[in-house]
Amino acid sequence: QQQVKQSPQSLIVQKGGISIINCAYENTAFDYFPWYQQFPGKGPALLIAIRPDVSEKKEGRFTISFNKSAKQFSLHIMDSQPGDSATYFCAANIGTSGSRLTFGEGTQLTVNP
Amino acid sequence: DAGVIQSPRHEVTEMGQEVTLRCKPISGHDYLFWYRQTMMRGLELLIYFNNNVPIDDSGMPEDRFSAKMPNASFSTLKIQPSEPRDSAVYFCASSSGPPRFFGPGTRLTVL
């Protein structure tokens, strides 16, 4: 059972535009929601994460918006740059050990110059 | 800090052979995770250790897979015997909590 559904599968954005990737989860016990960025040939890297006690978290051009009642969260990349072109994964976890991170399917983002 | 180090980066082997993947976590991290990534199944947690002790190996596909962490600076993932369906990229990650730093991965191809 896929517990974290991610959309879209691929996204093309012009330089300077806003990239938005959405995730929805089912398990209300999830309490940690990270986003990972993966470049070709590299391992994923933690980009930004949020806990459900806040509705938004911003780090530079990256923002997570969290809607607990809808069981949805999204990643917004402002002023998207060609260097942001990568695959982005949302994930969800219960507790702080990170033991059972459930990943979304991934979104391949292409930012055209 | 060199980050999480994995070796080899690429491994091509024939079905039935033993494969050993290696990982050196970031110093000071007490969690180590092994993940597998495929197009069909995405990122899957295989096993994770806390302070060198295996905590959850429920993601290990079957008895052909085994993992060890003899000390805080080294872990291995072994597949014996290997099968074509084991072909994937295997990642090691370390952290002090949820996975933060992943290694570059080992791309395994089993012919």
In tens, the pLDDT along B65-86 reads 999 999 999 999 999 999 999 9
Which chain A residues are within 8 Å of B106, Cβ to Cβ? Answer: none
Beta strand pairing call for A33-38 and A56-59 = unpaired
pLDDT band at B2 (very low <50, low <70, confident <90, very high): confident
Give the percent of chain A with pLDDT over 70.
95
For B95, half-sphere exposure in the C-beta direction (CA atoms, 13 angstrom radius) is: 17
Give the percent of chain A with pLDDT over 90.
80
pLDDT band at A1 (very low <50, low <70, confident <90, very high): very low
Strand locations in chain B (E): 5-7, 10-13, 19-24, 31-38, 42-50, 53-56, 65-71, 74-79, 88-95, 101-102, 106-110
Which chain B residues are within 8 Å of A89, Cβ to Cβ? Answer: 42-43
- Cβ atoms B92, B31 nearer than 8 A: no
Burial of B77 (0-12, 13-18, 19+ CB in 10 A): buried
Q: B56 touching A, CB under 8 A? A: yes
pLDDT at A49: 93
- Angstroms from B100 CA to nearest CA on chain A: 5
- CA distance linking residue A1 with residue A19, whole number of Å: 28
Instruction: Encode pLDDT of B18-59 as tens digits.
Output: 999 999 999 999 999 999 999 888 899 999 999 999 998 988
Instruction: Encode pLDDT of A45-100 as tens digits.
Output: 999 999 989 999 999 999 999 999 999 999 999 999 999 999 999 999 887 665 67
